[in-house]
Homo-oligomer: A and B are copies of this chain.
Amino acid sequence: MNPQRPQLVHDLNQIRDIVRKAQSAGKKVGLVPTMGALHQGHLSLVEQSASQCDLTVVTIFVNPTQFAQDEDLAKYPRTLESDLELLSQFSPVIVLAPEAADVYPAGSSTAVQPPDVGRLWEGEKRPDHFAGVATIVLKLFNMVPAEIAFFGQKDYQQACVIQQMVKDLNVPMEIQVCPIVREPDGLAMSSRNRYLSQSERKTATVISQTLEIAEQMMREGETETQVILDQCMQELTAAHVDSIDYVTIADPITLELVQTIAGPVVILIAVYVGKTRLIDNRVIQL
């Protein structure tokens, strides 16, 4: 047992008391909401929080309401022991790992209807996903009333949904979105990467390579997004990804489709490699 391991809290009243007490003592509290299965992407959020806050609360909760029936809730990796081990390098960190029955007691039925920015892309492919995300995130913000919450840019549209929700519902929380952390070959870190077979893992590198190609085309002056997207589709297909949910070039704020590039854009990709769904994105400011 590592003595530096973070304190592990399961009780929702206890965590709020801890946070309130720290704040009463003048401490700034940071929140890093996760579903566990921590990787360097998560750890970069914790590091960011630790650098700005006096106390960081990492929540670990695999939220059932953001998974559809046919998705990977059951097999989603649960690795609490190694998560705690990984968090030992940061201090002071408290881990909140609540029970599902405490988070969603019987009769619980209120939900957040996510903002319009959640309508397209992920919103179309995973119809109830952002309602599940927005609801759990708002609940976590109320459970852990920190000053700042840290999210990864990897889930770009999720970050947009959360930022807009916070604004729309007057939630007293600052949202910081931190850069994507990548493997040496460019694959964006994700808890789902561990589902990939060796050959799938190799195929998956095409995603970030496609983002790179799209950016290059823009830098070389291509402004018609359809031309760029055709090339992206061709790259992904040639690399034998198993299916393409979407590849798009959108306004980085509204996430509406852009036809002709005349300002900043975000390229969003969602594909299946084998049975694993992977997403990635890149913001381009020419």
Contacts and interface: CB of A to CB of B under 8 A. Distances in A.
Interface of A: 12, 16, 105, 107-117, 131, 134-135, 138-139, 142-143, 145, 164-165, 167-172
Given A107-B164, A138-B169, 17 more contacts: A12-B170, A105-B167, A108-B167, A108-B168, A109-B117, A109-B168, A110-B113, A110-B134, A110-B169, A111-B112, A111-B113, A113-B113, A139-B170, A142-B169, A142-B172, A143-B170, A145-B172
Contact of A16 (B107, B108, B112, B172): B172
Given A113-B110, A113-B111, A116-B109, A142 B170 contact: yes
Contacts of A168: 108-110
Contacts of A134: 110
A120 to B, nearest CB: 13
29 contacts: A12-B170, A16-B172, A107-B116, A108-B115, A108-B167, A108-B168, A109-B116, A109-B117, A109-B164, A109-B168, A110-B114, A110-B134, A110-B164, A110-B165, A110-B168, A110-B169, A111-B112, A111-B113, A112-B113, A112-B169, A113-B113, A113-B131, A138-B169, A139-B170, A142-B170, A142-B171, A142-B172, A143-B170, A145-B172
B112 A110 contact: yes
A281 to B, nearest CB: 21
